[in-house]
């Protein structure tokens, strides 16, 4: 069974006379065409269209009772601003046959009262870009909003020139952001804010725990009772998930690019992909966004900036942290929670670095040689700035070769690096480091190399969506209506751990690495 709900709206009306968003008419889908359709996600959502056609899609969009543009605020580049869905609409909540909930959102559907002078539309290019990057992240195992389809609109969008227009249908368990709470905290009475926040936090906890509305026999947005313990539990779980998310971003080389609080999900998943990119070269200071002049959202600063964002989230939770509303006690609790958050992030990043090298972080975390192998490798990455993804694939080749020989000293005798270099294309750290690493893995017990190899193959992608290939595929598709490059890239990024020829061929960096590559927001 599946059905539409629109509980945000019901909630908004009950608590706040609709002040948490603005009702909007449904887009009618007239003259639109499907540019790309995510069959696998449609099946997961139990959408029963044999093949997607515009009539089914329009009918589906129009079957929702009342779309809503949500109000939210946010700290953009550190400054507080009123925002809201300027070009997005929450269509409603969909439930698949298993009872799993999806909020369905449109992006690029036209101006709303929150558009602040923007046209409310989006280019086909930008929406296709979000589609392919979310597909890549999902396949890489990185929690993210998903993209169900991109529609091409009949109208053009002006971005320094006329461009084809696009509309993205995206899904998430919910699309509530830190900025939603920032807004509600200011806009609502303390009582209404507490009830609203509890609803959102309880719903997040419910979704994390796999709760489903049908079983509970009531909406997951049902009114929540003020419960400081639940708020603390919420933040602890968010911390754990946000820390894992950061570690994933660092693991695969993903730079979100605009980590303003209005783009940070309360579910701990990647949200609002705009000027994002994947690093080729290992350069922690690299930011790709055209407006990020000072590198606030640089790839390697993501955990630092997310701690700042976690602080903003905690400031929104302050009124909910102490049962007697004692501010001093609430601040102490918040400080403690922020400390825990920091610890979660440190641990997640450390685990990620170890796992990428095939080292077991639990077994060897107190082992001096293992620790020094990891820190030497990290220093080498920072100093040499090699191609990030290929560096680990090279290590994998070396490990595989070493496993074919018995001699522990093989690497230092010279044969290994030379023979491996036939298969590998970029720098490696010193022979000494490689020899120590192989020796360590060999010395870790029977079958250790094999399990390290398996671990590396599950942590290190054989394929990331290289920026230049994404741009080429988009240009071909949008400017020339040629789908071959797009289809091939989509196929490859959907199997990012597959060690095969397709991935090997498409996972090559551009000749100049990241030099000159720049991304844009709000297109």
Q: What are 157's strand-pairing partners? A: 163
Binding window for ligand AMP (CB under 6 A); candidates: 78-86, 98-106, 297-305, 311-319: 78-86
272 part of the interface to ligand AMP, by CB under 6 A: yes
Residue (117 or 217) nearer to ligand AMP, CB: 117
Q: Which of 206, 274, 411, 496 binds ligand AMP (CB under 6 A)?
A: 274
224 part of the interface to ligand AMP, by CB under 6 A: no
Residue (263 or 391) nearer to ligand AMP, CB: 263
DSSP 8-state assignment for residue 26: P
Q: Give the C-alpha separation, 434 to 353, whole Å.
A: 16
Of residues 261 through 300, those in contact with Mg ion by CB under 5 A are 263, 272
Q: How far is the CB of 267 from Mg ion (least distance, A)?
A: 15
Residue (129 or 436) nearer to ligand AMP, CB: 129
Binding window for ligand AMP (CB under 6 A); candidates: 18-26, 79-87, 213-221, 326-334: 79-87
Q: Give the C-alpha separation, 502 to 485, whole Å.
A: 12
Q: Binders of ligand AMP: how many residues, by CB under 6 A?
A: 18
Alpha helices in 21-106 (DSSP H): 39-44, 54-62
Token pair listed for 480: 């020339």
103 part of the interface to Mg ion, by CB under 5 A: no
Binding mask 235-264 for Mg ion (x = CB under 5 A): ----------------------------x-
Q: How far is the CB of 119 from ligand AMP (least distance, A)?
A: 5
180 part of the interface to Mg ion, by CB under 5 A: no
124 part of the interface to ligand AMP, by CB under 6 A: no
Residue 262 annotated among the catalytic residues of the structure? yes
Residue (334 or 474) nearer to ligand AMP, CB: 474
Binding window for ligand AMP (CB under 6 A); candidates: 34-42, 110-118, 322-330, 432-440: 110-118
Token pair listed for 147: 């993209």
Q: Which of 18, 86, 224, 311 binds ligand AMP (CB under 6 A)?
A: 86
263 part of the interface to ligand AMP, by CB under 6 A: yes
Q: How far is CA 147 from CA 40, 135, 482, in A?
A: 11, 7, 21
Residue whose pair of structure tokens reads 């084809």 in the numeric block: 164
The secondary structure element, H or E, covering residue 76 is strand 73-76
DSSP 8-state assignment for residue 95: E
Q: Which of 35, 258, 21, 16 is nearest to 168 (CA)?
A: 35
Q: How far is the CB of 397 from Mg ion (least distance, A)?
A: 40
The beta strand positions in 360-491, using DSSP E, are: none
Q: How far is the CB of 251 from Mg ion (least distance, A)?
A: 24
- Cβ–Cβ under 8 Å, residues 260 and 303: no
| Residue 77 burial by Cβ neighbours in a 10 Å radius (0-12, 13-18, 19+) | middle
Q: Give the C-alpha separation, 520 to 471, whole Å.
A: 12
Marked catalytic residue, from 7, 85, 103, 262: 262
Contacts with 356 (C-beta within 8 Å, 6 or more apart), sequence order? 251, 392, 456, 459, 460
Binding partner at 103 among ligand AMP, Mg ion, none, C-beta below 5 to 8 Å by kind: none
Q: Give the C-alpha separation, 495 to 497, whole Å.
A: 6
Contact residues toward Mg ion (CB under 5 A) are 263, 272
Catalytic residues: 262
Contact residues toward ligand AMP (CB under 6 A) are 83-88, 111, 115, 118-121, 258, 263, 272, 274, 521-522
């Amino acid at each position: 069974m599946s059905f539409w709900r629109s509980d945000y709206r019901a909630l908004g009306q009950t608590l706040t006379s609709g002040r948490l968003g603005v009702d909007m008419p449904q887009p009618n889908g007239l003259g639109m065409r499907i540019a790309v359709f995510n069959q696998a996600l449609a099946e997961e959502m139990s959408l029963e269209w044999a093949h997607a056609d515009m009539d089914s899609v329009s009918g589906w969009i129009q079957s929702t009772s009342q779309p809503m543009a949500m109000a939210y605020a946010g700290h953009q580049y550190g400054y507080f601003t009123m925002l809201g869905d300027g070009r997005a609409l929450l269509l409603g909540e969909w439930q698949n046959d298993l009872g799993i909930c999806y909020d369905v959102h449109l992006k690029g559907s036209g101006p709303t009262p929150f558009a602040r002078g923007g046209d409310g539309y989006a280019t086909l290019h930008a929406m296709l870009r979000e589609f392919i990057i979310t597909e890549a992240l999902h396949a890489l195992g990185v929690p993210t909003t998903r993209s169900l389809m991109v529609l091409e609109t009949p109208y053009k969008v002006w971005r320094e020139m006329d461009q084809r227009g696009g509309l993205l249908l995206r899904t998430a368990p919910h699309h509530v952001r830190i900025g939603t709470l920032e807004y509600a905290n200011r806009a609502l009475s303390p009582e209404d804010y507490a009830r609203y926040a509890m609803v959102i936090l309880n719903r997040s906890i419910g979704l994390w725990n796999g709760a489903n509305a049908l079983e509970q026999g009531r909406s997951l947005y049902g009114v929540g009772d003020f419960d400081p313990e639940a708020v603390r539990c919420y933040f602890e779980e968010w911390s754990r998930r946000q820390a894992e998310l950061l570690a994933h971003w660092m693991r695969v080389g993903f730079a979100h690019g605009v980590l303003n609080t209005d783009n940070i999900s309360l579910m701990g998943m990647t949200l609002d992909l705009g000027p994002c990119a994947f690093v080729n070269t290992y350069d922690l200071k690299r930011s790709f966004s055209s407006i990020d002049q000072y590198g606030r959202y640089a790839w390697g600063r993501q955990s630092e900036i997310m701690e700042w964002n976690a602080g903003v989230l905690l400031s929104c939770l302050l009124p909910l942290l102490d049962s007697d509303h004692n501010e001093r006690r609430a601040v102490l609790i918040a400080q403690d929670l922020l400390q825990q958050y920091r610890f979660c992030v440190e641990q997640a990043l450390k685990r990620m670095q170890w796992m990428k090298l095939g080292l077991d972080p639990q077994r060897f975390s107190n082992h001096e040689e293992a620790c020094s192998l990891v820190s030497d490798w990290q220093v080498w990455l920072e100093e040499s700035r090699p191609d990030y993804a290929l560096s680990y694939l090279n290590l994998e080749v070396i490990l595989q070769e070493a496993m074919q020989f018995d001699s522990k000293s093989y690497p230092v005798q010279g044969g290994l690096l030379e023979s491996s270099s036939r298969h590998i294309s970029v720098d490696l750290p010193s022979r000494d480091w490689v020899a120590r690493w192989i020796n360590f893995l060999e010395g870790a017990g029977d079958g250790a190399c094999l399990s390290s190899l398996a671990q590396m193959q599950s942590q290190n992608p054989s394929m990331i969506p290289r920026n230049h290939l994404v741009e080429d595929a988009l240009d071909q598709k949008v400017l020339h209506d040629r789908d071959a490059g797009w289809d091939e890239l989509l196929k490859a990024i959907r199997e990012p751990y597959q060690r095969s020829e397709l991935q090997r061929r498409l996972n090559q960096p551009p000749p100049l690495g990241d030099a000159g590559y720049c991304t844009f927001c709000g297109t």
